[in-house]
Amino acid sequence: MNAPTHNLTHIQARMIAACGRAGRAPDSVRLVAVSKTRTPEEIRSVATLGQVLFAENRVQEARDKIPLVAAAGLEWHLIGPLQRNKVKTALQFFQMIHSVDSIELAREIAHRSNPTAPFPVLMQVNIGCEPQKSGVLPNEAQALAQAILTLPGIALRGLMTIPPWSAEAEAARPWFQALAQLRDQLMAAGIPAHALQELSMGMSNDFEVAIEEGATLVRIGSAVFAPA
Ligand SMILES: *Cc1c(COP(=O)(O)O)cnc(C)c1O
């Protein structure tokens, strides 16, 4: 038998251990396997072990690749920036979009989706207020959440963030705490709990810290697909 070409089992074990340290149930956090740049064969080898949830960051790549994976029952999330002219295609290939950061984009999703099956989205927050980064600023999050809630055809489900870059996982902890606090503030301001269920935060180098701080979706690419 060939050596496994991925680290899925090891990452799952580390996620369970992080849940244990945080006193959380292991099923309270889901692994989003980020498959950008990976081949259909690599994706299938991970799916074969039971991984269901995958993510891509570009609509074009997803459109070319998802049909080639040809594994039934997989769930695909879009985690990268979305241009309004790609919304129609995105809705065909993805079951959730993590990167909604403007009312114009939310309106386009609402307009293109089926009003009887509101399309689930997360609001991307630029938690570090970095000039070049996507995401709504924290102090504008409440207004955007309220605006999304008025639209038919789109269902707000929570928050997503990419914190300021650091090689140190611990450096991300205050940013993950800030996103969880923002969620609490939005709830206190009247945004309903069902619109704030998910916290999408944590990547290969800091997902354990994110789980300790309340992540419900961790987006892990290189650590899953790297050779074991
Ligand atoms: C690529 C990507 C990830 C995964 O990054 P890794 O460091 O490979 O785990 C997570 N989130 C977003 C938005 C990405 O583009």
Sign of CA dihedral 43, 46, 48, 53: negative
The reported pLDDT for the residue numbered 73 is 86
The series of mean pLDDT values per 10 residues for the chain, 228 residues long, is: 72 97 98 97 93 98 94 92 98 98 98 93 98 97 98 97 96 98 98 98 98 98 87
Q: How far is the CA of 125 from the centre of ligand 1 (A)?
A: 15
3-220, which class in CATH?
alpha beta
The reported pLDDT for the residue numbered 70 is 77
Helix axes 173-188, 141-149, angle to 10 degrees: 50
For the CA of 36, the closest atom of ligand 1 is 1
For the CA of 79, the closest atom of ligand 1 is 13
For the CA of 203, the closest atom of ligand 1 is 9
Residue among 42, 51, 5 at smallest CA distance from 218: 51
Check if 215 has its Cβ closer than 6 Å to any atom of ligand 1: no
DSSP state of 178: H
Residue among 78, 103, 107 at smallest CA distance from 91: 78
Check if 220 has its Cβ closer than 6 Å to any atom of ligand 1: yes
Residue among 227, 228, 226 at smallest CA distance from 34: 226
Q: How far is the CA of 188 from the centre of ligand 1 (A)?
A: 30
Per-domain boundaries in the chain: 3-220
The reported pLDDT for the residue numbered 1 is 46
Q: How far is the CA of 219 from the centre of ligand 1 (A)?
A: 6
Residue with tokens 């269901």: 52
Per this entry, what is the length of the chain?
228
The reported pLDDT for the residue numbered 115 is 79
Q: Report in angstroms the alpha-carbon separations of 188 from 184, 185, 191, 196, 213.
A: 6, 5, 7, 11, 19
Q: Report in angstroms the alpha-carbon separations of 6 from 127, 192, 217, 228.
A: 31, 39, 20, 5
Q: What predicted TM-score, i.e. pTM, was given to this entire model? A: 0.96
DSSP state of 70: -
Closest C-alpha residue for ligand 1 atom 7: 204
Instruction: Assess contact for 82 and 105: CB atoms under 8 A.
Output: yes
Please state, in angstroms and rounded to a whole number, the distance separating the CA atoms of residues 89 and 94: 9
The reported pLDDT for the residue numbered 183 is 98
Q: How far is the CA of 175 from the centre of ligand 1 (A)?
A: 16
The reported pLDDT for the residue numbered 47 is 95
Check if 35 has its Cβ closer than 6 Å to any atom of ligand 1: no
Closest C-alpha residue for ligand 1 atom 12: 79
